[in-house]
Amino acid sequence: MAKKETVSIDPATLQMIEKAAADGCNIVFDRAETTRPCPIGAEGACCSQCAMGPCRVPLAKGKEETPEEKQKRRGVCGATPETIAARNFLRKIAAGTAAHSDHGRRVAEAFIGIAEGKVPGYEIKDEQKLLQLALDLGVKIGDRSNTELALEVGQLLLKEFSKQEGELVFLKRAPLKRQEIWHKLGVAPRGVDREVVEAMHRTHMGVDQDYRNLLLQGARCSLADGWGGSMIATELQDVMFGTPSPVASQINLGVLKEDEVNIIIHGHEPQLAEMLAVVTQDPEMIKYAKSKGAKGINLAGMCCTANEVLMRHGVPIAGNFLQQELAIVTGALEAMVVDVQCIMQGLVNVASCYHTKIITTDPRAKIEGATHMEFEEHKAPESAKAIVKAAIDNFPNRKKEKVAIPKDKTDMIAGFSHETINYLLGGLFRASYRPLNDNIINGRIRGVAGVVGCNNVRVTHDNVHVAMMKELIKNDVLVISTGCGAMAAAKAGLMVPEAAAKFAGAGLAEVCETVGIPPVLHMGACVDNSRILIAATAMVKDGGLGDDISDLPAAGAAPEWMSEKAIAIGQYFVSSGVFTVFGVTWPTLGNKEVTDFLFKGMEEMYGGMWAFEPDPIKGAQMMIAHIDKKRKALGIDKARERVLFDMAMRRDLT
């Protein structure tokens, strides 16, 4: 095991790592020691696309090679290191897009089922958003009922996945200048599935062998995620389950309860989690739990499903990605209920050290050794009850001597959807981003940064997120966050309004205090990064900050990324004009041409580009420098200088 201080900054995590060791239980932090990353694969220099390979084409560290030597450094088929690196990168984008979009498709199918009356237990919760969607899609409203509208909206959006021609309907939501860039480059996605299929085809042996051309498809495929699959998921989930508004809750393993049946819902799609939130409150189920000796039922979330039910119901969060096994190590977890994505296969092994039941619920994601209890949407309440009952039945198997729940839990405020930010800033009757834009223009807020994404066991858990966010808010950059990054921020106390006075620069603190918001805003799960696209577009449309997303004093980051979804998200931000910094490692580092293209060449084409910086402070400084560059281009850099020198204001606020 690596040194304690390099593993995590979270005391609950450190406590459970020690407990796992004492219990003789092998967890992700141990496996990271025994299984090191492959240095050639990590740099994108390995091609395994055909059986003549795998071909490994790394350049020895620090070696300068002659053109003749470079000619020889190829795969067996003649593929250059550039082609290999770009292919690998595009395949990551395709996998990430597929994951978000398959989620979006399932949501669209459930949405149609609700409208048809075939999926009981759910309803249309946000009528306003349904009407807005109907307008956006050109659906005739008239005096049609909500269910009629929902059926047509759902059917139209489901078709976005299989569309063969034209372009995705939500692209029209982007600023006009952005749409023109996409058209000029030929990267406006057609249907979501088509772009994923084409990406897989073009990366097959012997197809697209020009790295620039491969990366054009990377942009097109990623846009099918951000402005397609992910956006469809977010929009329809909001209509079905309600658009988030500010909600108070708590986070960390300390939300588990010693005297109740603890159930964690872990994964990504919110349909089951929504039903579990209802069923665990059912007096009959609570009575059943009491009959087994528990005082009640405690539902908590893990990973992005946690964000979904937190944002809409305030369900507490047990932890982020690297804490999933540790929740079992508490010895107090009756059931870990999972659906899809970011679920470690190691869960089953860890559960074998304790009494926890791992329950898979989705036919697309079974795990050997887990109990499979399929969640059937057309009988959702019954399915959810059966799962809760299985958890309750497991309560008597809990071994008291193995229970140690960390005390750590932190207060947080979540629920900052685009609509909420709009209302909070502008008021219900004049909802707008005007106050945000004005405060950026007058310099109180320097800019906006989206810090999102995973945990990665190769870096100190949560530390990279928190250090980066603190550096940004200290420099008056408002941070918006999703996914596991948002959870890191919440655990560190950055998601309460009081954090502004404690951690933010004077200008940002003043704005947060006036509006009553934290300096780091929780915008939801990873699919909800589409909310950030909408928020950025709203800022452009409100005026005064240029006429494209790439003009905004804004930047993005995923400083602890690990999943292919993160690459897809990063690419759709870059393709939408955002400067995006990734930490940990960079998957094309072994190839200078491709890396230069991603880090520099893309800026000329898209106005946004990638960067890699594992140090969170340096990463934040890169983002701030980019924000300042944009402020200068907009001619608003002088306003900020005046604010910076306003010492009286600083004194008043600290």
Min dist. Cβ of residue 582 to ligand BF8 (A): 12
Q: How far apart are CA 411 and CA 552, in angstroms?
A: 32
Nearer to ligand BF8, 92 or 178 (CB): 92
Min dist. Cβ of residue 198 to ligand BF8 (A): 24
Strand partners, 263: 299, 335
Min dist. Cβ of residue 104 to ligand BF8 (A): 13
Min dist. Cβ of residue 92 to ligand BF8 (A): 12
Min dist. Cβ of residue 83 to ligand BF8 (A): 27
CB-based contacts of 51, cutoff 8 Å, min separation 6: none
Q: Which two tokens stand for residue 572?
A: 């759709």
Nearer to ligand BF8, 303 or 511 (CB): 303
CA dihedral in degrees (405, 408, 413, 418; nearest 10)? -70
SS3 374: coil
Phi/psi for 357 (5° steps) reads -95, 130
Nearer to ligand BF8, 342 or 494 (CB): 342
Strand partners, 56: 46
CA dist 22 to 15, 26, 171, Å? 11, 10, 53
Min dist. Cβ of residue 28 to ligand BF8 (A): 12
Nearer to ligand BF8, 237 or 437 (CB): 237
| Cα distance between the two ends of the chain | 41
Is residue 273 a contact partner of residue 301, using CB atoms and an 8 Å limit? yes
Q: With the C-alpha atoms ordered 237, 240, 245, 249, is the resulting torsion angle positive or negative?
A: negative
Nearer to ligand BF8, 342 or 495 (CB): 342
Is residue 399 a contact partner of residue 258, using CB atoms and an 8 Å limit? no
Nearer to ligand BF8, 238 or 462 (CB): 462
Nearer to ligand BF8, 522 or 630 (CB): 522
Q: Which two tokens stand for residue 397?
A: 């198997």
Nearer to ligand BF8, 329 or 525 (CB): 525
Min dist. Cβ of residue 448 to ligand BF8 (A): 19
Nearer to ligand BF8, 439 or 563 (CB): 563
Q: How far apart are CA 394 and CA 432, in angstroms?
A: 50
The DSSP line for 476-531 is TEEEEEEHHHHHHHHHTT-SSTHHHHHHS-HHHHHHHHHHT--SEEEEESGGGHHH
CA geometry: angle 243, 314, 461, nearest 5 deg: 105
CB-based contacts of 648, cutoff 8 Å, min separation 6: none
Nearer to ligand BF8, 163 or 522 (CB): 522
| Cα 358 to the center of its chain, rounded Å | 24
Q: Which two tokens stand for residue 607?
A: 């106005």
Q: Give the number of other Cβ atoms within 10 Å of residue 497's Cβ.
A: 14
Residues near ligand BF8 (CB under 6 A) are 268, 303-304, 321, 342, 453-454, 483-484, 525-526, 563, 565-566
Q: Give the number of other Cβ atoms within 10 Å of residue 190's Cβ.
A: 18
Min dist. Cβ of residue 124 to ligand BF8 (A): 26
Min dist. Cβ of residue 150 to ligand BF8 (A): 26
Q: Is the peptide bond before 435 cis (omega within 30 degrees of 0)?
A: no
Min dist. Cβ of residue 525 to ligand BF8 (A): 6
The residue among 336, 552, 318, 568 whose CA lies nearest residue 452 is: 568
Nearer to ligand BF8, 280 or 455 (CB): 455
Min dist. Cβ of residue 308 to ligand BF8 (A): 10
